[in-house]
A and B are shown apart, each in its own frame.
Chain A
Amino acid sequence: MRDFIIRRLLYAIPTLVGISIITFLIARLSPGDPIRLFTFGIKDFTQEDYLRLLHAYGLDKPIPLQYVDWITNALRGSFGESLIYHRDAFAMLVERVPATLQLAVAALLLQLVIGVPLGVIAALKRGSWVDGAIRVFGVAGHAVPAFWLGLILIIVFAVQLRWLPSIGLLTVGHDQWDIPDRIRHIILPAFVLALTGIANYSRILRTETLDVLAQDFVRTAHAKGLHERTVVFVHALRNALIPVVTALGGILAALVGGALVIEQVFSWPGVGQFTFQAAIAKDYPIVQAGVMFTSTLLVVSYLVRDLAYAVVDPRIKVG
């Protein structure tokens, strides 16, 4: 087990190196000279000044050396100053993390609480209209454009019915710890973000539960005269839940990626919205910090998934 963990940890390193190279190249290859951009409009800016600045920022070095400089700083959490706000890019990004984390955790909870029971119910009522409805939902949930669903929900619940607020973390002027207000704000974006995962879990759990229910040990449990409820919840469900862990990787990726669009629709001040707006404004340090941060988060969550998988399912080859 220890070997497995160590090996899996080491595998993450080349991935992170690859991601950092892409992130570095985003800024280096993008059109526009950073020095010109930075000093735009300054009078009496001579060629000599230009070269001096180029040297000062290390931009006259060959690209591989520039990468080494950049990654050394990035590892210390320094991506440079934002070109627009003139503050440390990484520090600004970190301020946005709690909002995204709240949204992601809320969505993940909704996925588990709604998606898993749906799948199990569909499997237990196999062939009935309930099963049919859940299966259609399982496909439809993937096919809905999330941003559109967000807009429709805003029109219905915020504009027409006025039940829920449509934008932001909490009502302006309210106390930071006004939890009911925060919950009212998070319901719509979290549900939209969760939808793909709910559909995914309902599909996976349905197939898995059907698989497990057809296995010998379930028949044995029935033959022993155990209650239907005991068979389903104690014997079958525990085994059917393994793919909940396996699917987590894809679901987390969808959460992190989907959050960007949802945050934009609901004006949720998270990492995704911040990075997106920085990309529009060509604020490279923030874009780089944003991409590195979310990607690292994703790589770590893949890692956690693999380790959890090894713990949950002892059949997986360790080592």
Chain B
Amino acid sequence: MATTAATARVVPVAVLSRPSRSLWNNALYKLRRDKLTIGALFVLVILAALSLAAPLFSEYVFHYKFEQQDLLHTYEKPQLDNIAYLLGSDEIGRSQVVRLLYGGQISLFVGFTAAFFNLTVGVALGLGAGYFRGVLDDILTWVITTLNGIPQIYLLLIIAALWRPGPFTLVVIIGLLNWTGISLYVRGQTFALREREFITAARTIGARDRRIMFRHILPNVLPLIFVLAAIDVGAIILLESALSFLGLGILPPTPTWGNLLTNAVSYFVRAWWLVVSPGAMIFLTVLCLYLIGDGLRDALDPRLKTH
């Protein structure tokens, strides 16, 4: 008896001496051991750094400006002899690799900015509707089912075709159309959370709606928002590339991965390498973002199902 009492006293001390783990600490711990996610994050950071450093690369490494032409070196195959043609050259002798780096700047900018708009609108509306319910929720549900009823690419293409928006307007439009999925998830979570005891407790001690929403519910929805954000950025990059590919996104001479492909299509019989590299960049970027989204979901809450 004495020995068990002694060990019983010792064990809690040992447990207590371990640092306490919050949700985020715990997630970080799990993430660190998830090689695939870390790898994806690593690749994404490198891609972003390369794109951001595009002017430096074009000046000091490739010695080639992105708009520079050379009619004596059109349709150069990918090669190591002339580093500027590492990934080949196009029909007027522009360097594919330099244009690809610059294109990355725009594609990543569009992805992250539009996702920011999406998340702001989606989270605000989802939280509001889920919390207040009633008429507000009915209206939101109506707007969402309506927007979901029209294939998104149709709406976006038609808006782009009729109004021909500039790059920034386009980002805002994508941001304002794409939030329905996010807001449905947030609404669902808020629905469930507002019935929990800690919310009732907060209300009993006189917390106002705003405080309950932002201090009690939002932090609990945050893990979900992080997962959705990673996937959302990827989805937007795909959407923008499709739009640019169809000639309605961001227009040349500003290079984006999508409009580099539009150009490549006209020459693909002669220069297949012009088709391969921009698409591979999109694929790689989006793949990393989706893998990060998956990894975050597993780390933060394995019960979340966001197929």
Contacts and interface: CB of A to CB of B under 8 A. Distances in A.
Interface of A: 11, 14-16, 18-19, 22-23, 26, 30-31, 139-140, 142-149, 151-152, 154-155, 159, 200, 203-204, 207, 247, 253, 256-258, 260-261, 264, 272, 275-276, 279-280, 282, 287, 290-291, 294-295, 298-299, 302
Contacts of B269: 159
- For the residues of B in contact with A, the DSSP-based class is helix
A147 B161 CA distance: 19
Contacts of B242: 145-147, 261
A139 B149 contact: no
B86 interface: no
A227 B268 CA distance: 54
Interface of B: 142-143, 145-146, 148-155, 157-159, 161-163, 234, 238, 241-242, 245-246, 261, 264-265, 268-269, 272, 275-276, 278-279, 282-283, 286-287, 289-291, 294, 305, 307
B283 A144 contact: yes
Contacts of A264: 246
A131 B283 CA distance: 22
Given A159-B269, A287-B158, A294-B154, A18 B142 contact: yes
Q: Which of B154, B159, B276 has the most CB of A within 10 A?
A: B154
Contact of A253 (B145, B151, B157, B305): B151
Nearest to A279: B161
A279 B157 CA distance: 8
Contacts of B145: 11, 14-15, 18
A180 B126 CA distance: 50
Contact of B142 (A15, A30, A149): A15
Contacts of B246: 261, 264, 276
12 contacts: A19-B146, A22-B150, A26-B158, A143-B290, A144-B283, A144-B286, A148-B278, A152-B279, A261-B153, A276-B161, A295-B151, A298-B148
Contacts of A280: 161
Given A30-B162, A143-B286, A253 B276 contact: no
Contact of A152 (B151, B154, B275): B275
Contacts of B153: 257-258, 260-261
A152 B148 contact: no
Contacts of A143: 234, 238, 283, 286-287, 289-290
